[in-house]
Every structure is written in structure tokens, then in C-alpha cells.
Amino acid sequence: AQTVTQSQPEMSVQEAETVTLSCTYDTSESDYYLFWYKQPPSRQMILVIRQEAYKQQNATENRFSVNFQKAAKSFSLKISDSQLGDAAMYFCAYRSGGTSYGKLTFGQGTILTVHP
């Protein structure tokens, strides 16, 4: 079974600064997807970014980018120019390729605090 580990229970950053959230995963598969989800205090789960394992290029979405190191099984999220609205719990998630459909395995989450 795959596992996802987020080793930082809490992180903090100053507004306008950059922060990196860490995620490692364990799998023997070569075909899979990785995601970062954001959960603000409203509790809603919001997709931030996705990465296909077969793509070497790191995914980016505006101020959010990932550092995908397939050999090291590492998938970190970088938030640039942090904003107060970025404060939330962030979850890293893994999905197998093929016919596993949408089954996601989540990490434990990292609480991000943004200081004005």
C-alpha cells in the first residue's frame, strides 16, 4: 500500500515571503498522480495543484509550484508571495494510475500560518 508523509505539522511565513511545504511518499508504482489540496477554516477541500508522475516538468499554478523529485519520492509545494488568504491546512495526496480511479491516499496535513 502507498503511504504519504508530511513531516511538518505546522509552518509559518510572513506575508509576501516564500514558504515550502514538504511531502514524501512511498510507492513501487511508476504510474501515479500527486496533488496538493488546501483546506481553509471553512473546511472546504480545494485542489491547489496536480502532477503526473510521467511528466518531468514541475507543475505551476500562479504563485504555487511544486518540486517533484521522482527518484527521491519527494513532492514539495512552494508558495511564493504568500498572502493572508493562503493560511490553511495543506494536504499532499497520492493516486495510483491505471484503474484505481479516484482513490486518494492523503498525508497528515500541514497547518500554514501567514503573519501580516
Partner 1 sequence: NAGVTQTPKFQVLKTGQSMTLQCAQDMNHEYMSWYRQDPGMGLRLIHYSVGAGITDQGEVPNGYNVSRSTTEDFPLRLLSAAPSQTSVYFCASSPLDRGEQYFGPGTRLTVT
Contact positions vs partner 1 (CB under 8 A): 4, 33, 35, 42-45, 47, 50, 91, 93, 95, 101-109
Rounded to a whole number of angstroms, the minimum distance from the CB of residue 44 to partner 1 is 6
Residue 84 C-alpha cell reads as 493572508
Question: Residue 46 contacts by C-beta under 8 Å, 6 or more apart in sequence?
Answer: 37, 38, 39, 40
- Enumerate residues 6+ apart whose C-beta is below 8 A from 27: 2, 73, 94, 96
Task: Please state the closest distance from residue 2 (CB atom) to partner 1, in A.
Answer: 11
Q: Which is nearer to partner 1, 108 or 113 (CB)?
A: 108
The residue among 16 and 46 lying less far from partner 1, judged by its C-beta, is 46
